[in-house]
Copies of this chain bind each other. A is one copy, B any other.
Amino acid sequence: MTRLTLESINQSVVKAKYAVRGELAVKSETYRAKIRKGDAQDLPFDQVISSNIGNPQQLGQKPITFYRQVLSLLENPRLLDHEDVLVNSLEYKPDVVERARWLLQQVGSVGAYSASAGVPAIKESVANFLERRDGYPADPTSIYLTAGASSAVNILMHIICANQNSGILVPIPQYPLYTALLSVLDATCVPYYLNEQANWGTSLDQIKEAYEKAKSDGVDVRAIVVINPGNPTGASLSAADVRSVLEFAADENLVVLADEVYQANVFVGAFHSFRKVLYDLQKETPGKFDGLELASVHSTSKGLIGECGHRGGYFETIGFDKQVSEQIYKYVSITLCAPVIGQCLVEMMVNPPQPGSPSYELYHEENSAIFNELQRRATALYEAFKDMEGVECGEPQGSMYLFPTIRLPAKAVEAAQKEGRKPDEFYCHRMLDATGVCTVPGSGFGQADGTQHFRVTFLAPGTEWIRIVHEFHGKFMDEFR
């Protein structure tokens, strides 16, 4: 017998769930492989559409030229010896060359390890961005560059969770990174429900109820996670929601972990950063909010940049104890540093071409096209959902997802049970099998008892796939009504 078995390995890992890349995603990959091999005569579709994960460039979103031109120069700095060729024959603008030179000066080589928490000059760029965005200065030494937001959250959770009794308030539904990491760390998830009736906003009542219950169970609740704009919900929180979470956190002395990776994906209203609202509150109510600890997370994977594969990201801490920060630094040192190319991409994301600079026009055009296209598809998908029997969905507000409710007929629930599946899982499998469109069942994110949802990205090009989903749904309902 092998030394390592399912029973003998780390059970905290075994218990962890991560549906975004779970059974459905694996099945969709086997379909994709069949199609690639030309062996898909038995499939009722000729392409797989991975709407299970926010991966824009996998679905054909074109990278933004400025970023990639600079990165190409960082990878091959010898190109900088041919500036005339770059500019005259290859459409590189002078500000591309200039940015590449500046970044190379800061990092030396993108093939060298950087400082553990990231290249100092890039952390300064992030600090400048935060100041411009929020109107309050940031301290570069409180910024940590990471391999995407997942790594950032992983680091923060490793610091915050001390033992099984350490609890973290996590929204339900949530991006399953949070519950998966809590599982791996063998700490306690304290779920609080979002308010679907209020377009998935936070409900202070729900948060308080969850908190009080956990406290009375003896859980040492230490932090609250908020994902804004929401994943999987797509909700864009109002300033009032953000304020109420911060007030609650201040009252109960909780660390706030703000996942703000979709901050550039807001269709309705404005993005209200936890950081800005916190500093506003500190000004308004001197004393009360001074000690509040906030960690906020951002990434190059989402927004309009959509560079998931580059694994760029950062987190900023506010109000953290110096000794705790030293431990964060040591912890990130153990795995040396975030990918340096990803760090450079973070720099460009927070410091893009400005009006008047040679690359601005194209940059702006590409950016706007991506934004408009996302909004257009979100709306088309939303309109299709409105038209689908038993499906209810709020208006698209932000992020890259819609998260509709589905009311499945009793016969479908029965059929699901026969297959040993949850009803929403059953529905998503049927959709994948019939259309090639891969989604994630609501149960992968958590949902209120008795409700069913699924998460779908609106990243896939065109709207033909939306029509196909619509058609599938009609047939599904006919079959099980």
Rounded to whole angstroms, the CA-CA distance of A14 and B158 in the bound complex is 11
Identical chains bound together, number: 2
- The smallest beta-carbon distance between A398 and chain B, in angstroms, is 21
Instruction: Tell me whether B319 and A339 are in contact (CB under 8 A).
Output: no
- The smallest beta-carbon distance between A104 and chain B, in angstroms, is 12
Please give me the residue from chain B that is nearest to A252 by CB atom: B3
Rounded to whole angstroms, the CA-CA distance of A79 and B65 in the bound complex is 11
Rounded to whole angstroms, the CA-CA distance of A310 and B311 in the bound complex is 11
Rounded to whole angstroms, the CA-CA distance of A14 and B327 in the bound complex is 6
A111 contacts the other chain (Cβ, under 8 Å)? yes
Rounded to whole angstroms, the CA-CA distance of A342 and B57 in the bound complex is 17
Number of A interface residues at 8 Å Cβ cutoff, please give it.
Answer: 96
Instruction: Tell me whether B291 and A6 are in contact (CB under 8 A).
Output: no
Please give me the residue from chain B that is nearest to A185 by CB atom: B10
A198 contacts the other chain (Cβ, under 8 Å)? no
- Within 8 Å by CB of A147, from B9, B53, B181, B339, lies B339
Instruction: Tell me whether B148 and A4 are in contact (CB under 8 A).
Output: no
Please give me the residue from chain B that is nearest to A96 by CB atom: B76
Instruction: Tell me whether A82 and B72 are in contact (CB under 8 A).
Output: no
Please give me the residue from chain B that is nearest to A5 by CB atom: B321
Q: Which of A112-120, A210-218, A461-469 contacts B (4 or more CB under 8 A)?
A: A112-120
Residues of A bordering B, CB below 8 Å:
1-6, 8-11, 13-14, 16, 18, 20-22, 29, 53, 55-58, 63, 65, 68-69, 71-76, 78-79, 82, 85, 89-91, 107-116, 147-148, 150-151, 154, 158-162, 177, 180-181, 184, 222-223, 253-255, 291, 293, 301, 306-311, 319-321, 323-324, 327, 330-331, 333-342
